[in-house]
Every structure is written in C-alpha cells, then in structure tokens.
Structure 1
Amino acid sequence: MIRTVLTMKVREGCAEAFERAWRDAARVAGDYPGCLGQTMLRSPEDPLRYTITADWASSESLTAYQLSEDRKSLSATLDRLRESATKSLLDIVAHVSPPTASAPTTKARS
C-alpha cells in the first residue's frame, strides 16, 4: 500500500471553500479502483495549514488516478485556493487496526 501526504497552506479567507472543494475531490477520487481512503487534517496552531493523506492499494492505482482528467480538473480548483503545497509518497510498511468490538478494550495488568 502507498500513502500520499500533501501539506498545504490555504489562502486567507479560502478555508471554507477549500474544505468544500476537497470533499468533492475526495468523493471523486474515492470512486477510483485502489483508493483505500482519504483524510483531511487541519493544524490547531495554524488553521490555514492542512495535511491531506490518501491510501492507495498500489502505485499503479495511484498513477491511474493521477493521470486522470478528473484529478487534473479537481487539482486546478484546489490550486486556486492554496498558497503552497508539498507532497510526499510513502510505502505503508505496517498498519495496526483497533481491536474488534467483541474484543476486550482493556487488559488487566499484574
């Protein structure tokens, strides 16, 4: 699995429009094969700084989305709302899921 991490500084006065545009873009990207989920994070210290993560099943599925007309159009909308952006591409080495609902959530310690 692959995770993209995109950190952006949004233009002053554009945060609400940026969040709406990102939600629209995330819905479209989520329809592409191999998209495993996306998350938008906002810095509590700097409410104009956002981090977006997206998990993809493979580099091929990510590349198919990145080369799509959908992505080009959606990115153009987001580009107008931000001052800067940096992107990282990371291989997911391990992921730990929370325990299932039927499993005990705490363990007695001796």
Structure 2
Amino acid sequence: MFRVLLRMEIRPGVEGEFERTWLEVGSAVTGHPANLGQWLARSEEEEGVYFIVSDWVDEERFREFEHSAGHVAHRTRLHPFRSGGSMTTMRVVYAMPAAEKAS
C-alpha cells in the first residue's frame, strides 16, 4: 500500500469552510479506483493545521491521479484556504488491525 500525508496550514477564520469544502470534493479522491480511503484530521497542537491521509493501491496509480484533471479540480477548490503545507509519501511496511474486543 502507498500512503500520502498532506500537512495543510489553513488561513485563520476559514477552518470550518475548509472542512465543509473538503467533504464536498472528497469524492474526487475516494472515487478513484486505486484509492483505498482518505481521512482529514485537525492538529491538537498547531492552530489551523490539518493532516490529510490517503491510501492507494500503489505509487504508480497515485501518480496517475496526481496528474489527472480530477485532481487539479480538487486541488483548485481547496487551494484558496491554504497558507502553506507539505506532502510526504510512504510505503506501508506492516499493518496491524485492531484486535477483536471481547464484549
């Protein structure tokens, strides 16, 4: 599995609008056949910082998406909220799902 971690710094005062827009345009990512899911998290330590994690079947398919018209449209909708950010890519080496809990 190939994982992408985006760190997004959002301009003060537009965090709620950013979150709503992210939900509205998220299907551009999750609708891609190679996408395995996407998550939005807000930092508890840094004001206005969000992390977006998306998982992909492999790097090649992610790069196809990254250069697609769908991604450009998605990025265009989110860009006005940003004041900075970065992207980190990685390969998942091991995955350990939560253990089944006794009821």
TM-score (normalizing by structure 2): 0.90
Q: Which residue of 1 aligns with 2:79?
A: 79
Q: Which residue of 1 aligns with 2:2?
A: 2
Q: Which residue of 2 aligns with 1:48?
A: 48
Q: Deviations over 1:20-55 (max 9, x none)?
A: 121123222111011001111101233411011000
Q: Which residue of 2 aligns with 1:90?
A: 90
Counterpart of 1:63 in structure 2: which amino acid? Answer: R
Q: Which residue of 1 aligns with 2:18?
A: 18
Which whole-Å CA distance do the structure 2 matches of 1:41 and 1:23 have between them?
12
Number of residue pairs the alignment of both structures matches: 102
Deviating 4+ runs (over 6 angstroms): none
CA shift at 1:98, angstroms? 1.6
Identity %: 25
Which whole-Å CA distance do the structure 1 matches of 2:45 and 2:18 have between them?
18
- Secondary structure (helix, strand or coil) at the match of 1:39 reads strand
Residue segments in structure 2 that go unaligned for 5+ positions in a row = none
Which whole-Å CA distance do the structure 1 matches of 2:33 and 2:97 have between them?
22
When structure 1 is superposed on structure 2, of 20-29 and 85-94 the one drifting more is 20-29
Q: Which residue of 1 aligns with 2:37?
A: 37
When structure 1 is superposed on structure 2, of 63-72 and 86-95 the one drifting more is 63-72
- Bigger radius of gyration: 1
CA shift at 1:11, angstroms? 0.4
Which whole-Å CA distance do the structure 2 matches of 1:45 and 1:91 have between them?
26
Which whole-Å CA distance do the structure 2 matches of 1:76 and 1:28 have between them?
12
Residue segments in structure 1 that go unaligned for 5+ positions in a row = none
